[in-house]
Structure 1
Amino acid sequence: MLLYPSVDDLLKKVNSRYSLIMLASKRAHELDAGATPLLSSYESPKTIGRALEEIAAGVVSIDAEKTKANKSK
């Protein structure tokens, strides 16, 4: 069960549940592959939880320009 960060808090950072899941999934894969953590400490031991914590903290977001470019292809 997800207690922190709350889904309501996370949805304030992104515009939809789908975007939230995609962003968290991509960031978790980056962390699994050895990407540098963006927070000094985490409550979650799992990469998906850490990705959600980074989103809640506002240090990870969706790049709107990159998204537009991908849609126009």
Structure 2
Amino acid sequence: MMLEPSIDALQEKIRSKYVLVTLSSRRARQLREKNNLQVDHPKSSKFVGMALEEVQSGKLFVDEDN
């Protein structure tokens, strides 16, 4: 079974696995509380999966300049 989005594809957007996990877990909590999803028709039904789909689509990112 292949999980989407793949870790390789996500790491093209955010290089650090630690940052990726932290960002997606924080966003998952926001989604659970506010339900303000930024992607249309997510494949995942779980909040973490939805957050990772936002990363993949470029809607959720880290400003590495700061």
* Distance (whole Å) between structure 1 residues aligned to residue 7 and residue 15 of structure 2: 12
- Per the normalisation by structure 2, the TM-score is 0.89
Aligned length: 66
| Distance verdict in 2 for CA 1:26–1:61, change over 3 Å | same
C-alpha distance in structure 2 between counterparts of 1:29 and 1:56, whole Å: 18
Greater Rg over alpha carbons, structure: 1
Equivalent residue, structure 1, for 2:39: 39
Query: 1:6-61: CA deviations, max 9, x gaps?
Result: 00000001121001101101110110111411011100000000000100111100
Task: Mark the runs of 5 or more structure 1 residues left unpaired by the alignment.
Answer: 69-73
**Could you tell me which residue of structure 2 aligns to residue 71 of structure 1?**
none
Gaps in structure 2 of 5+ consecutive residues = none
Which residues of 2 match residues 1-73 of structure 1 at below 5 A? 3-64=3-64, 68=66
Q: Which runs of 4+ in 1 moved over 2 A?
A: none
Task: Report deviation, 1:2.
Answer: 6.1
| Root-mean-square deviation (Å) | 1.6
* Closer, same or farther: CA 29–56 of 1 in aligned 2, 3 Å: same
